[in-house]
Amino acid sequence: MSDCSESKNRNNSYDLAVIGAGSAGFSAAITAAEDGARVALIGYGTIGGTCVNVGCVPSKAMIRAVEIRHSAKRAKRFDGVEATAQVTDWAAMVAQKQTLVDDLRAAKYVDVLPNYQDVNYIEGRASFLKDGSLLVGDRTIRAPKVIIATGSTPHVPDIPGLDGIDWLDSTSALEQEQLPKSLMVMGGGYIGVEIAQIFARAGVDVTIVTRRGLLPDAEPEVSEALTQAFADEGIKVLDGLSYTKFEKSGETVVLHAARNGVAVRIEAEKLLLATGRVPNTSSLALDVAGIDTNMRGGIVIDPQMRSSRDGVYATGDVTGIDQFVYMAAYGAKLAAKNAMNGNTLSYDNSVMPAIVFSDPQVASVGLTETEARSAGHDVITSVLGLEHVPRALAARDTRGLIKLIADKETKKLLGAHIIAPEGADSIQTAAMALKMGMTYDDLGAMIFPYLTTVEGLKLAAQTFEKDVAKLSCCAG
């Protein structure tokens, strides 16, 4: 994309400079422009950032595509039904995914810019100078306020022998035009879980290797249920590992590790690294500008999105906090408003919904049981298996559960955690319940439509004090 700033602004001075042209950068630039600011939007690499190009959009498109093959395999759970489906052209699926990415990048980013005459897009890598101005190529961009929204990149662990392996990350894995026979996925977080299931459902023999298990920060009941679902699907999960080294054996990648003191050897045709993401800060010269970072390189910010340097804000993955596209955009809007209007708004993630698009889907909002106890609450919990949810029974798919966290004395809901085939579409109801300060009695008394997954929230709320197995349909 060409630099359109020269024709619009020849003195390189702006009210606001935004570094990063992904979802957070666009949110910040548009918000400030709508408030009357003249904005320099500085982008490096492909416009649009992680989500549309290599993250949310391509992964979810591929998840949906291979879901059809898996659904056909599971059709026999209904008496008298048989179905078949297969991946006949993986390269065609990859190409279709890329077409969607290209179309959305154009519609949501490239074609949006002309609508904002006060946003000047500048291509190039930005770095800070000591006076707080920005060097972009051979140009110096000056602005009294700067928002950093440069995102993150995949983390590469320090394991002997890894530098000799032609490994994949979540981006390159979904760009391959040929399926491997077997795949080793290192990491049990949300990226590893989603990508592993995509390839397993496409017919690849998948093994997940991880130190801490699947979704280690989730409620233990949720992690256990997902691990069992993966095992039932044929996805091997080797957790509790300590890694020794990698080596190449012919066309095979070999990981030497230990599990409970016993040596383990894992082999696969391809290796996918899914060991988290690290903030993109190394090229910004933050030390020159006196901008503090944490141990993982994330920019330290306060609730108003301010960094340690006056006038410089940061949002999204570059902070290492809440690495979700919607939280990046939310934080960017706050940063822009504060930069232009006096730091009156504070970041609030207390009712932030989070989703893992595995199958069954994992969704959560609010506190975990451990977090609630650490916060000083006398905690009471309700755990409802999906075998008590009529929607799941009708679908003959009772994989999963719903767990609610509440304060025992006040009955106020503190957190909700769902693992269910359609769990993602239910979490916003729980988020709104937490936002409104509802008790579990309040939630249990609400009217919910029968034979929906979200009705499980009502049943789980009733389970705090009732045995739902003894209730009739729609009782209570």
pLDDT at 5: 42
pLDDT along the chain (476 residues), means of 10: 45 94 97 97 94 92 95 94 95 96 94 95 97 96 98 96 96 95 97 97 98 96 98 97 96 96 97 96 96 95 98 97 95 98 96 97 98 98 96 96 98 98 96 98 96 96 90 66
Would residue 433 count as lying in a domain? yes
Residue 422, in any domain of the structure: yes
The pLDDT value given to residue 8: 44
The Cα diameter of the chain in Å comes to 74
236, 253, 275 - which closes a domain: 275
Q: Are residues 443 and 361 in the same domain?
A: yes
Q: Residues 388, 330: one domain?
A: no
Report the pLDDT value the prediction gives residue 475, as an integer from 0 to 100: 56
In this prediction, residue 474 carries a pLDDT of 62
Three-state SS at 67? helix
Domain count, the chain: 3
140 with 166, same domain: the answer is no
Whether residue 16 is found in the same domain as residue 128: yes
CATH number for position 465 = 3.30.390.30
191 and 225 share one domain: yes
Sheet holding 139-141, edge to edge: 126-128, 134-136, 139-141
The encoded tokens of residue 232 equal 């039932």
Task: Give the residue numbers spanning the domain of 335.
Answer: 5-52+94-154+278-341
287 and 251 co-located in one domain: no
Does 191 share its domain with 309? no
**Which residue, chain included where needed, has tokens 């390839």?**
199
Domain presence at residue 369: yes
pLDDT, position 292: 98
Within-domain flag for 168: yes
pLDDT of residue 271: 98
Whether residue 237 sits in one domain with residue 166 = yes
b (16+ CB within 10 A) / e for 176-208: eeebbeebbbbbbbbbbbbbbbbbbbbebbbbb
Query: Is there a domain that residue 405 lies in?
Result: yes
* Rounded Cα distance, 334 and 120, in Å: 21
The model carries a pTM of 0.93
Name the domain boundary from 275, 291, 308.
275
Of the candidates 341, 364, 394, which is a domain's last residue?
Answer: 341
In a domain, 16, yes or no: yes
Same domain, 142 and 291: yes
Q: What is the CATH number of the domain that holds 105?
A: 3.50.50.60
Q: 272 pairs with which residues across the strands?
A: 168, 185
Whether 310 and 363 map to the same domain: the answer is no
How many Å apart are CA 47 and CA 29, to the nearest integer? 14
* Same-domain pairing of 169 and 263: yes
Query: Is there a domain that residue 40 lies in?
Result: yes
Torsion-angle region of 45 (φ positive above 0: left; ψ -120 to 50: alpha; else: beta): left
The verdict on residue 83 lying in a domain is no
> What contacts 321, CB < 8 A, 6 or more positions away?
298, 301, 327, 349
Instruction: Answer yes or no: do 227 and 365 share one domain.
Output: no
| Residue 2 CB partners (closer than 8 Å, separation 6+) | 123
